[in-house]
Chains A and B, each alone.
Chain A
Amino acid sequence: MLTKLLGSLLIACAGFFISVSFCRFESKRLSVLDSYISLLFYIKGQVDCYLRPIDEILMSVDFDIIKGCGCREKPCSIFSMLDESKIYLEKESYRLLYTFASEFGSVYKDEQLLRCDYYIEALSEERRGLFDEVPSRNKVARALFMCASFALLIILW
């Protein structure tokens, strides 16, 4: 009986922690996207004011932004950043950032700034969508994992 109770408690706890982790992961997605938007603003500023090449920009960017993007060390390119933080990005956000990285540096200054503006706007739109979705996703996740753990409890009891 005691073992059964202990097992039930463990299953309930597991369900709870999985749902908490999922909620944190969703929040992290939002903060990663925020960091990428900050990075794009920074890149735009550096292009506009100093015409710095991308490798110098990435070396000079605040490490908190890099960490916020889900990277552990200063990256050598935006692609390597995307590789590291792919897990946190929505499919559309990833696609936008990947296209931004692919196109980056192939045009002159004015056009480059316009493209930065476009991608900042598009990612901000994505961010707004994600921000609206996160609470409902969290609710669903909490309900789903808790129910799943209770269901498992009932089956195993």
Chain B
Amino acid sequence: MYITEYKKGTIESGDINTALFELLPEKIIEEIKRLPYLSHIEEIRLRAEKYSSVVVNRENILLNVRLTAYEINEIFKRMCGGSLYAHSETIKNGYITLPFGVRVGVGGRAVYNQNEMVGVYDISLLCIRIPHKIKISGYEICSLVNGFNDGRGVLIYSPPGVGKTTLLRNISIILSSGEYKKRVVIVDTRGELSYMLDKPYMCMDILSGYSKSEGIEIATRTLDPEVIICDEIGSVDEANAICALHNSGIPLIASAHGKCVSSLLLREGISILDRAFIFGAYVGIERDGYGGFKYDILKREVN
């Protein structure tokens, strides 16, 4: 069983790719379409004056296309919808989110003024992440969260590109509809997590564009959620904000980059959360090769 929205996320057909292809030059599209494993493409990487490449099952495949710096800039302008200023903050954080929920990593020449980044100029790298087919999964994590009676949540971790955001989307769907029907609040800082989740039958509220710490605070104080979901936490500020709100007893389901729990805990922000017993379990994920996930669940016992 597949989620319809993610079926559209294949490179052969669907709204996302049609929209994405409108932004890319013809020569790139032709090259991509020539690939035999079209539906498995996870990333398209465009580099100025270098060969572009695609990532398929975490493997890099070079395309026989070189884009000029001018062409990269033109694509970038189109991706910004002719309004660079509207993406200023996210560009400084290294990405832009396209209107159809696709995240594009951006690299170039960063300019600083008194230790503060003013902007990124001469864009030379665009890394487009294509949403991929994923089986409906996440029931295990939902029942795990439901089993904690003390308001603790779950931290999902994996290296980049495995599917944390996709899994969080699935969890949001399961928790806000069907048997659980919980009041779910999504704090979507990057505008990526909530893409296509705003369905009328879901008991879900989305705070889009809020910083995680502010979003979690607002959700707790004003929206009375039963579960809060957010993507990619890890900074000390975020950890402090989450700890301050932990008394409210609302479970938080979040994700973080990491290979194993011990490497996760080396990060100060995660370590603060761990010491405060914010999470009842750490769930490592990897692809099972059949369009779903394998879980490595480590429960955190309260001393």
Contacts and interface: CB of A to CB of B under 8 A. Distances in A.
Interface of A: 47, 51-55, 77, 104-109, 111-112
A107 B84 contact: yes
B117 to A, nearest CB: 10
Contacts of B291: none
B77 interface: yes
A111 B85 CA distance: 9
Nearest to B89: A51
Contacts of A111: 85
Interface in B63-83: 77, 80-83
Interface in B165-201: none
A51 B88 CA distance: 9
A106 B84 contact: yes
Contact of A55 (B77, B81, B88): B81
B81 A109 contact: no
A105 B84 contact: yes
A53 B96 CA distance: 13
Q: Which size bracket describes the interface of B in this complex?
A: 10 to 19
Interface in B109-133: 118-119
Interface in B28-55: none
A107 to B, nearest CB: 6
Given A106-B77, A108-B118, A108-B119, A54 B84 contact: no
A105 B82 contact: yes
Given A106-B77, A108-B88, A109-B88, A53 B118 contact: no
A53 B81 contact: yes
Contacts of A47: 85-86
Contacts of A104: 82-83
A54 B83 CA distance: 6
A47 B84 CA distance: 11
Interface of B: 77, 80-86, 88, 118-119
Contact of B84 (A52, A55, A108): A108
Per CB-CB distance, the 5 closest pairs between chain A and chain B, nearest first, are A53-B83, A105-B82, A105-B83, A109-B85, A53-B81
Nearest to B209: A51
Contact of A108 (B81, B82, B85): B85
Nearest to A104: B82
A100 B86 CA distance: 17
Contacts of B118: 108
A55 B83 CA distance: 9
A17 to B, nearest CB: 44
29 contacts: A51-B85, A51-B88, A52-B83, A52-B86, A53-B81, A53-B82, A53-B83, A53-B86, A54-B81, A54-B82, A54-B83, A55-B81, A55-B82, A55-B83, A77-B82, A104-B83, A105-B81, A105-B82, A105-B85, A105-B86, A107-B85, A108-B84, A108-B118, A108-B119, A109-B85, A109-B88, A111-B85, A112-B84, A112-B85
B112 to A, nearest CB: 13
Contacts of B85: 47, 51, 105, 107-109, 111-112
Contacts of A77: 82
Contacts of B80: 53, 105
Nearest to A51: B86
B100 to A, nearest CB: 14
Contacts of B119: 108
